[in-house]
Structure 1
Amino acid sequence: MKKFLLTGAAILCACVPFSVQAQTAGSAADPIDDQEYTGLDDIVVTAQRREENLQRAAIAVSAVDGETLTEQSITQATDLTRLVPALQIAPASSFTQIYLRGVGTFGANAFAEQGVAFNLDGIYLSRPAAPAGLFYDLERLEVLKGPQGTLYGRNATGGAVNVITAKPRLNETSGNLTTEYGNYDAFKTSGAVNLPLGDRFALRLAGQMAQHDGYFSDGYDDEDTWAVRGQLRGEFSDRLSAILSIDYADVGGMGSGGTILPLVDGDNRLGPSDPRVIAAYVGRPPTAPVPQIIARNDGYQDNTFFGISTTINADLGFAQLTVIPAYRKTDLDFRGYASSFLIDIEEQSEQSSLEARLSGTVGQLTWVAGAYVFSETVDANQRFDQGSNGTRILSDLGTDSTAVFGQATWSLTDRFRVTGGLRYTKDEKSQVTEAHTLPFVGFVPGVFPLVPIILDLRSDVAADIDFDKVTYKAGVEYDAGDASLLYATIATGFKSGVLFPAQVNGFSAPESMVAYTLGSKNRFFDNTLQLNGEAFLWDYTDQQVSHLGPVQVASTPGGPIFGPIYLTENAGAATIAGLELELVYQPTASDQFSANLQYLDATYDELKYQAYSTTGAAPAIGCPITPTTLTGASATARIYDVDCSGQPLVNAPDWSLQLGYVKTLELEDRGRLILAADTRLESSRYLSLDYLEQGRQDGYMMSNARVTWETPSGNLAITGFINNIEDELVFANSSQSPAKPGVIYNQIRPPRTYGLRLSLRM
């Protein structure tokens, strides 16, 4: 590891010139000639709780502006994967699984919590289903890599995804409308209107509707979303302002889909209720008369999301005060089939949070200090059924979190600065759960036709558990030139333990991360070339691994009985090291090249867990397994120890490369023509802890292209686009049937899509 860090340091230091002349930013889209061209645009971010040029922020962050999100037809969180190489986002029924450099959460139930925080305008969204109906009228997206906490309300192990909405503008009447139509009967429209209300108030209303038919043969993997957002801004004085925001989203349709392998048929993707898939499924052992669940095309999702928040900013003279009270409510009601694994969930959650921050500058010291209070309740009714084995879980879950945090940067010289930050977090979690394990144990004797016997093993679990932790950040940064920055940081983060329904030890311990980063940000050649680099080493301990495994569900004189529950346990420890290089080259006002390369070496130092087999047969896992003497919920069930130490982390490809090119052709009084293309190349990666070939995505290349004609004013644009030109079949997720070992169910990213887009601005 020392050799790796020294090599990374050498590469990054080689990027830093002794002196680079600073330039002002220009816009490549403006109709200017090369003599007036002044170089690359600056991007302003708030990743460190203050507005600053992305190139001057001494942190590992990627930013995507709102216009790019629209051009790439981003309407849901899973679409973000094709924009940021470090990011992997996959659907899991109505939930969303976010991975960043191999750190994330595979969990897909009411107990799950993300390892990568998702924030909307600085407000942490706790539920894995929450990143829905948000991707419209955005200012930008920020992806922060590595532990967060000393500047943010909620701690995160692997990083944070920040969605920043467009805000109301004073004394401005403006609006925009974007509508597109494409194959799969896709229709998407979004727009916003900004209205001044006198000199000190402004109102911004925005909305979105996105629909398309299912990508699978039986109609699954469709989209049917509509959402609205209203924001009222008030400048009450030169020292006091506030923004009130209210948003609502409705996510419907049949929901995500997939198929058992190897039943994928190119353009005709065979969904879970397709007769060909059902025939293959029922033919896998155990077969009838053992009870079977047959997937149907009655899957649905009827999920609603509501949020209200206020961001208050006050100038106190000695400091700036920011206060953000927020409330969010999520109602989930969905049914889906992972192959023939029925998932039927109703969940209502409410969260409220209050964050207060003071920030200021005193001489050479820039500082931020804050406090955070978070409370959440979750009422969930979850049913998971495979016919020969089922689970029903009714839970009341609660989380109360409090934290204080602060960070300061001291300028020792005009070029050299040091940063330090601390955070104390205390989380209190509780559950009152009624869990039913429903194993098939045989048939009623002497009765024909056969009547299966399904036991009902009930567990009542009540738990209250506290977790607390002090985390820190320390760093140095040096201006190696007028347009060059060199920085190094060490940061720690943790995610508190996760509850699950077990009679004994129904919770995991916290997971922890120590992240070392060495980075450099540079502009060269009269502000036309941007080259940023980062070397990182993450020490990941007590990793929380979510999977279907055994927990104690009953006690008998002969000993405990174990049943299968989707649990989260501390099964892993890993070392994650890598390099990321980002290049943007804009030699003229009409040409821009971009490249983003990530190399990742993410390996488990230790990964040990237990697998539950309802049939007793050895589970299909690509790691050494050993039978145990634990007693399962049925006579045939067996429990196995699994050791996957030395395997790579899931969703962590060794190589990811993003390439792009934009060409602008000026047509004088006829407007301009913009030609754009981008591609993502990625090496192979595993998608689940089973480490099976059918659960591995091979290396692939996926490309997109678009042609846009704009009027001279830029107020009207017409775009033709095509995404996934290769029609590449790329797996997004993978799971194994607990009832039928070796039956692998994979979800798939969208196929080739194309269409026309009309954009209006006023």
Structure 2
Amino acid sequence: MGVSSKLTLLVGASLLAMPAMAQTAAEPAAEAASAAEIDTAEDIIVTAQRREQRLQDVPISIAVVSGEALQDRAIQNFEQLAPLIPNLTIAKTPAANLIVLRGIGSSAGSPSLDQSVVMFVDGIYSGNARQFAAPFLDIERLEVLRGPQGALVGRNTSAGAINILTRKPGDELGGYVLGDYNFTFEGVSLEGAVDLPVTDNFAIRTTGRYADTDGYIYNPLVDQDQPTRKEAIGRITGVWEGEGVTTTFKYEHADVDIEGSPVQVFAPTNNEFRDYVKSARLTTGPEYDNIVTNNAVLQLDIEMGGPTLTAITGYSQFKNRNLIDADFFAGNFATADFDQDFKQVSQEIRLTSPTGGPIEYSAGAYYSDANLDEERTTGVLFAPVASTFRAFNQEDKAFSLFGQLTWVASEALRVNASGRWTHQNKTADYLRLGGAQAAVARTGAVQADFSGKTTDSRFDPAASVQFYANRNSMFYASFGKGSKSAGFQGAISNASPATFEYLPERSTAFEGGARLSFPGTGYLNLAAFHTTYKDLQVSAGISVPGSLAAIFFTGNAPEARIAGLEAEFLFRQSQMFQVDGSLAWLPTAKYVDFTAGPCYALQPSNGTLPGTCNQTGQRLGFTPKFSGSVNGTVKAPVSSDLQVKATISPGFQTGNFRDFTNDPVARQDGWLKLDARLSLGSIDDGWELALVGRNLTNKLTNAYSNTAGLANTFLNPAARVTVVDAPRNISVQARYKF
């Protein structure tokens, strides 16, 4: 940490010096254009409505992050992305990744649950958070679509969607190499891409990444900073442009090996605190979380004398092996496996009209077939006979028809209507075995063996009106419904035939907003929203002292409601200074009706069902009332061909619960964190050296908490498991483009 502290002082001193440099520098002779010649709103193109549009023409609350911005901030995984987007939370949990938007998301109780915030990578639906191990590698941009998006974007997007587009090959030989060394994590990452034009109409882009880094949680029992991470990723993308037909194919393989876990136990009376130290060890070897993914896409775009026919075929597969210390401390009482094998094939066909006429349309069909095999064990080491093995298999088939119609009434008025009809069929089998060999050999006495089947058909409509006061001022109002399919509890230890299935989730959303452009200066986008959820799907760990199994609540909250305001802005005073960011106000985020919800550790049961707690009127977890992220960038020349650039990025949240039970122990106080970047490079952006600092204020914050399962039995009935965010960390970057 000594090196990190010195580098922190260097970054801070350099940033303080930058405004003075900007004021005294000579006029930039090499500036490509004046500020008046750059329209920063026109430069941003998105595909939030399945066609390329200006950001300022989209009637959706949307945050856009470019691939270059992610590289500049050294963002390499979802947990690092979340602070950039207000109202978005992404955290590592014992079983899976937790993704929450505006307080709505799939809890991490079972990794088999469909996400409420769905990720799409190059048009491929990713309902399982593990499908893409490297979602931010060499991407063009990332779009976060807030609120229900089921009508046009895709199924199960009851809370929102994250749309990621990877970079396509260029028509000239070129590429980049980017190296990053993190002094805090004592690790290196190296990535690069090359464009290879094979013929005049065929080009290939190859992309690769290798990383080997340590973690930020020190485990004295193994004398190691954990979790360590090694990853090797490769991707090849090809584009062939024929006579009226464009063919795009992509294949990506990722192999990620993680040793150790950031999950630690919190029990102050037992000297277990939220900090960067975790004392845990398995006699059988280290904790690990290893995943191998394979993803492929084939897209055809066929010009049909006006409309374009698009066909997207997708294949997504992963294998995950995850072993954790299930007591989460040095006791070495229990282990747990979370193993998943997943395959998905999908096909989408879409017909899209050209723009510019009085009527614009998009219509299509989608089909997917996904299979998930999940195996979980709980090994009780001091009482092997209490061990269990659970197997869960789910077949998920979905078919949908969707369309959007836009009436361009005049230059000032546009009316949009869209809808999606979805038919989904899920079947699942559950098996639980118990006994001394259950966790080791995965054999034993049958404790439970049952199946389930659910069929669900639903229609999600949406409508919006857009009014243009002029080209640079658009106002909109929208209504939409979203949904999430019914499902099954997965391979949890307390699944039963009576509770195996949970109900589908429904949402009704109203939104109004303004998109204001200031040519040559920037933009200001505002959105006000109100969304009601019926049968909100909730899953959370619950404490049962004395139990030798990890128990989960999985069910539906009859009604929840969220409402608030969001703002996205960018202002460029000149080529030398820019400020951009996002702000959010979430005054309402609560359970309107939830009389039989989960209880936190040692909470007296007061719900309408035995062992439940009444959460009616309680605030949803992961919902700070105020949150935001701002970037201020200063750029100044130091010679005819060199420039320095400095960015300072404060981010903040007010206090909020970091769980789904309103546990007072899981409440995180408000915080302010500071990121920064200082670089020296060529004015033509051919090369750059940079120093990057994250969490320079070194705030210790709680990313996720839950009841501690087996630690409540073995260590302390009041124990919780928790994951803390990374401490201050400094890295150096080197980038070369050719």
TM bracket, shorter-chain basis: 0.7 to 0.9
Aligned amino acid, residue 726 of structure 2: P
Which residue is equivalent to 2:7? none
- Residue 416 of structure 2: SS of its match in structure 1? strand
1:31 touches 1:666 (CA, 8 Å); kept in 2?
no
2:619 touches 2:662 (CA, 8 Å); kept in 1?
no
- Is 1:241 the counterpart of 2:227? The answer is no
Alignment of 1:744-759 (within 5 A): 744-759=720-735
1:732 touches 1:748 (CA, 8 Å); kept in 2?
yes
Which residue is equivalent to 2:573? 587
Q: Deviations over 1:42-69 (max 9, x none)?
A: 2111111111111121211111111001
Shift of 1:658: 1.1
Which residue is equivalent to 2:12? none
Shift of 1:38: 3.4
Aligned amino acid, residue 641 of structure 1: T
Which residue is equivalent to 1:31? 31
Unaligned runs of 5+ in 1: 1-27, 275-293, 440-454, 552-560, 613-618, 629-638
Which residue is equivalent to 1:483? 472
Which residue is equivalent to 1:533? 526
- Tell me, in whole angstroms, the C-alpha distance in 2 between the residues paired with 1:142 and 1:35: 26
2:620 touches 2:662 (CA, 8 Å); kept in 1?
no
1:94 touches 1:255 (CA, 8 Å); kept in 2?
no
Which residue is equivalent to 2:173? 173
- Tell me, in whole angstroms, the C-alpha distance in 2 between the residues paired with 1:160 and 1:400: 20
- Is 1:270 the counterpart of 2:264? The answer is no
Alignment of 1:296-335 (within 5 A): 298-335=286-323
- Is 1:576 the counterpart of 2:562? The answer is yes
Shift of 1:627: 9.5
Which residue is equivalent to 1:544? 537
Q: Deviations over 1:363-411 (max 9, x none)?
A: 3111000100011111121113566765421122110000000011101
- Tell me, in whole angstroms, the C-alpha distance in 1 between the residues paired with 2:358 and 2:380: 63
Which residue is equivalent to 1:345? 338
- Tell me, in whole angstroms, the C-alpha distance in 2 between the residues paired with 1:364 and 1:68: 37
Shift of 1:589: 1.1
Which residue is equivalent to 2:206? 205
Which residue is equivalent to 1:620? 601
- Is 1:407 the counterpart of 2:404? The answer is yes
Shift of 1:713: 2.6
1:32 touches 1:589 (CA, 8 Å); kept in 2?
no
- Is 1:359 the counterpart of 2:352? The answer is yes
Which residue is equivalent to 2:17? none
Structure 1 residues 267, 92: closer, same or farther in 2, change over 3 A?
Answer: closer
Structure 1 residues 410, 272: closer, same or farther in 2, change over 3 A?
Answer: farther
- Is 1:105 the counterpart of 2:106? The answer is yes
Instruction: Say which of 226, 251, 255 aligns to 1:250.
Output: 255
- Residue 641 of structure 1: SS of its match in structure 2? coil
Shift of 1:29: 13
Structure 1 residues 131, 649: closer, same or farther in 2, change over 3 A?
Answer: farther
Shift of 1:527: 3.3
Structure 1 residues 39, 111: closer, same or farther in 2, change over 3 A?
Answer: closer
2:581 touches 2:628 (CA, 8 Å); kept in 1?
yes
Which residue is equivalent to 2:264? 259
Structure 1 residues 35, 713: closer, same or farther in 2, change over 3 A?
Answer: closer
Structure 1 residues 623, 353: closer, same or farther in 2, change over 3 A?
Answer: farther
Shift of 1:112: 1.4
- Is 1:231 the counterpart of 2:237? The answer is yes
Unaligned runs of 5+ in 2: 1-27, 220-224, 437-443, 490-494
Aligned amino acid, residue 336 of structure 2: I
- Residue 688 of structure 1: SS of its match in structure 2? coil
Shift of 1:458: 0.8
Q: Please report the TM-score for the alignment, with normalisation by the length of structure 2.
A: 0.86
Structure 1 residues 390, 513: closer, same or farther in 2, change over 3 A?
Answer: farther
- Tell me, in whole angstroms, the C-alpha distance in 2 between the residues paired with 1:486 and 1:438: 64
Which residue is equivalent to 2:666? 695
2:541 touches 2:706 (CA, 8 Å); kept in 1?
no
- Residue 527 of structure 1: SS of its match in structure 2? coil
Which residue is equivalent to 1:608? 595
- Residue 665 of structure 2: SS of its match in structure 1? helix
Alignment of 1:64-83 (within 5 A): 64-83=65-84
- Tell me, in whole angstroms, the C-alpha distance in 1 between the residues paired with 2:388 and 2:573: 60
- Residue 334 of structure 1: SS of its match in structure 2? strand
- Is 1:659 the counterpart of 2:630? The answer is yes
Shift of 1:36: 6.0
Shift of 1:708: 0.7
Q: Deviations over 1:662-690 (max 9, x none)?
A: 00001232411001010111011112233
Shift of 1:624: 5.3
Which residue is equivalent to 2:417? 420
Q: Deviations over 1:220-259 (max 9, x none)?
A: 333222211101111121x101111000111102143132
- Residue 488 of structure 2: SS of its match in structure 1? coil
Structure 1 residues 34, 296: closer, same or farther in 2, change over 3 A?
Answer: farther
- Is 1:643 the counterpart of 2:648? The answer is no
Q: What RMSD in Å do the two structures reach over aligned CA positions?
A: 2.7
- Residue 609 of structure 1: SS of its match in structure 2? coil
Which residue is equivalent to 1:221? 227
Q: What is the aligned residue count? A: 674
1:63 touches 1:140 (CA, 8 Å); kept in 2?
yes
- Tell me, in whole angstroms, the C-alpha distance in 2 between the residues paired with 1:609 and 1:217: 39
Structure 1 residues 198, 189: closer, same or farther in 2, change over 3 A?
Answer: same
